[in-house]
Amino acid sequence: MTTDIVNAPKTMRVLRGPALLLAATVALAGSGAGAAAAADRPVTAPGGAQSDPEMREVARHVLGAGAPGYVARIDDGRRTTVTAAGVADRRTGRPLAGRDQFEIGSNTKTFTAVLALQLVDRGQLELDAPIEQYLPGVVPNGRDITVRMLLNHTSGLFNYTADPDFVTSVLRDPQRLHTEQELLDVAFRHEPLFAPGTDWSYSNTNYTVIGVLLREITGKSLAELVRQRIAAPLGLHRTYVADPRATNTGRGYAHGYSITFAGPEPVYTDVSTWPLGGFAGAAGAIISTSEDLSHFFSSLLSGKLISARQLRQMKTTVALPEDWGKGGYGLGLMRTDSPCGTVWGHGGDTLGHHSNAVTTADGRRSAVTDATANIGDTTPTEGATRFRRVVSAADTVATCRMLGKPAPREVLDALTGG
């Protein structure tokens, strides 16, 4: 779930991301006022990668905006730097480490799309075949909605996380596990947003359907497929699907927090024990690390996971709406035309994390960041506005550092409040 806040007004979007759960629709009840005192901790990454002084300054501003922790891993093609700051657990005060696992939210969609395109490579799936061919009777108007339309969000299917009653029910009973059919039932109670293939709208429903499709064709769960066809071949030893919860919640796991700024002090709710797989699934339930996520995207863009033909299909994009920024959306892969250059990747927001993963077109450079918090209500407070602005600017600075270019003045002003 990304507080890529889906279907939220553009003034509420964190950056350009696709949020899994519309976390900002309702305040979360929580305890604990005030931000945790979090010291900036430079860390050393495998191979001797050092912390980046500029990213340490970025981290200071992200923590100052309310995030308990922040990590940035940047490979500029010559060296890798890893910067970690703050705490991984506000209760114990355990410092955040650069190798800690975290919820990657809608970055999961890229994994799910890769699994689908691997089936295309094997001749088991056709991108331009109607979903009705594979899942008869499952999707309304399935004869006119193709697999490609689901992957690039041109299906017109309503986004189940935009249903206010669904969001309220999740926040009222966060430990409840929802089946895929229940999620689809929420979506299909609503009329389509537009005729298939005529427009673009980000919808987690699309990837829930793809998750059902993957299981129908392979007979395996998403967790099995990610482990066998992506994580194991690439050596992503700390990447897995929360099925339904994160299983490594001790040392080495970054807790996520929903923040509300409605009172005199921010209020934090630890959501790290909530069953992410029970309402995110193929749209956003993967747990990973900055190192694993970097390796995944770099491997994908350099052609190690799917054929060159399918990678071209993946990078064939539909233009994004103006309020999503400059770029396009392909098959589970987003093109961002940043102020410092064009990059490929995705964003990920859950109730407690905002992450961003980008790489160059050849996969040789990468930048992965995570802030261990997200906004938990829609109150237009100064604190919430500042948090969104700072986190968005931090993503852009990381991208520019990866590309070896200085961030524009307006981005730095957004970061620092200048």
- Identify which of 87, 58, 69, 21 has the alpha carbon closest to the alpha carbon of residue 370: 69
- Terminal Cα distance for the chain, rounded: 31
In whole angstroms, give the CA distance from residue 140 to residue 157: 9
In whole angstroms, give the CA distance from residue 68 to residue 74: 20
* The pLDDT of residue 379: 75
In whole angstroms, give the CA distance from residue 388 to residue 304: 35
Give Cα 213 distance to the centre of its chain. Answer: 21
The residues annotated with a catalytic role in the active site are: 106
pTM as predicted: 0.91
pLDDT by 10s per residue, the chain, length 418 = 333 322 222 322 334 444 454 443 333 333 333 343 443 444 434 444 577 899 999 999 999 999 999 999 999 999 999 999 999 999 999 999 999 999 999 999 999 999 999 999 999 999 999 999 999 999 999 999 999 999 999 999 999 999 999 988 988 999 999 999 999 999 999 999 999 999 999 999 999 999 999 999 999 999 999 999 999 999 999 999 999 999 877 789 999 999 999 888 999 999 999 999 999 999 999 999 999 999 999 999 999 999 999 999 999 999 999 889 899 999 999 999 999 999 999 999 999 999 999 999 999 999 999 999 999 877 789 999 999 999 999 999 999 999 999 999 999 999 999 7
- Identify which of 354, 405, 408 has the alpha carbon closest to the alpha carbon of residue 74: 405
- Identify which of 266, 286, 236, 242 has the alpha carbon closest to the alpha carbon of residue 386: 266
* The pLDDT of residue 4: 32
In whole angstroms, give the CA distance from residue 30 to residue 26: 12
* The pLDDT of residue 50: 72
Residue partners of 412: CB distance under 8 A and separation at least 6: 393, 397, 418
* The pLDDT of residue 140: 97
Residue partners of 63: CB distance under 8 A and separation at least 6: 35, 38, 40, 69, 70, 85, 86
Q: Which domains does the chain have, with CATH numbers?
A: 10-416 (3.40.710.10)
* The pLDDT of residue 51: 75
